[in-house]
Homo-oligomer: A and B are copies of this chain.
Amino acid sequence: MKGRPTLAVVGATGAVGAVMLQILSQRADVWGEIRLIASPRSAGRKLSVRGEEVEVAALDEAAFDGVDVAMFDVPDDVSARWAPVAAAKGVVVVDNSAAFRMDPDVPLVVPEVNAHTVRNRPRGIVANPNCTTLSMIVALGALHAEYGLRELVVSSYQAVSGSGRAGIDTLREQLSLVAGTELGTGPGDVRRAVGDRTGPFPEPVALNVVPWAGSLREDGWSSEEMTVRDESRKILGLPQLPVAVTCVRVPVVTTHSMTVHARFQGEVTVDGAQEILATAPGVVLFDNPAAGEFPTPADAVGTDPTWVGRVRRTLDDPTALELFVCGDNLRKGAALNTAQIAELVAEELA
B203 with A296: CB separation less than 8 A: yes
Our pick among B242, B246, B296, B301 for the contact of A186 (Cβ within 8 Å) is: B301
B157 with A320: CB separation less than 8 A: no
Min CB gap A225→B, angstroms: 8
Residue of A176, A184, A299, A317 with most partner-chain B CB within 10 A:
A184
A320 with B253: CB separation less than 8 A: no
Min CB gap A275→B, angstroms: 15
A324 interface hit (Cβ, 8 Å): yes
B270 with A212: CB separation less than 8 A: no
CB under 8 Å from chain B, chain A span 250-267: 250-254, 257, 259, 261
A237 interface hit (Cβ, 8 Å): no
What is the bound-complex CA distance between A156 and B180, given in angstroms? 26
- Per-residue interface assignment for chain A, residues 154 to 181, with 1 indicating a CB less than 8 Å from any chain B CB and 0 otherwise: 0101000100000000001001101110
- A315 CB contacts on chain B under 8 angstroms: 221, 229, 242-244
- A191 CB contacts on chain B under 8 angstroms: 298-299
A322 interface hit (Cβ, 8 Å): yes
- A188 CB contacts on chain B under 8 angstroms: 298-299
Residue of B nearest to A310 (CB): B211
What is the bound-complex CA distance between A211 and B175, given in angstroms? 22
A209 interface hit (Cβ, 8 Å): yes
A270 with B211: CB separation less than 8 A: no
A314 interface hit (Cβ, 8 Å): yes
B180 with A220: CB separation less than 8 A: no
Tell me which of A29-37, A51-59, A132-140, A287-295 binds B. A287-295
Q: Evaluate whether A270 and B220 lie within 8 angstroms (CB atoms) in the complex, with A188-B298, A244-B322, A316-B242 already known.
A: yes
- Per-residue interface assignment for chain A, residues 297 to 338, with 1 indicating a CB less than 8 Å from any chain B CB and 0 otherwise: 111111100000111111111001010100000000000000
Size band of the interface chain A makes with B: 35 or more
- A344 CB contacts on chain B under 8 angstroms: none
A253 with B298: CB separation less than 8 A: no
A207 interface hit (Cβ, 8 Å): yes
Residue of B nearest to A219 (CB): B312
Min CB gap A18→B, angstroms: 10
B209 with A257: CB separation less than 8 A: yes
B312 with A220: CB separation less than 8 A: yes
A26 interface hit (Cβ, 8 Å): no
Q: Evaluate whether A289 and B220 lie within 8 angstroms (CB atoms) in the complex, with A155-B155, A211-B310 already known.
A: yes
Min CB gap A2→B, angstroms: 39
Our pick among B204, B212, B313 for the contact of A298 (Cβ within 8 Å) is: B204
- A289 CB contacts on chain B under 8 angstroms: 212, 216, 220, 222
Q: Evaluate whether A211 and B180 lie within 8 angstroms (CB atoms) in the complex, with A157-B250, A220-B289, A244-B322 already known.
A: no
Q: Which 4 A-B pairs have the closest CB atoms?
A: A184-B253, A242-B316, A179-B179, A155-B155
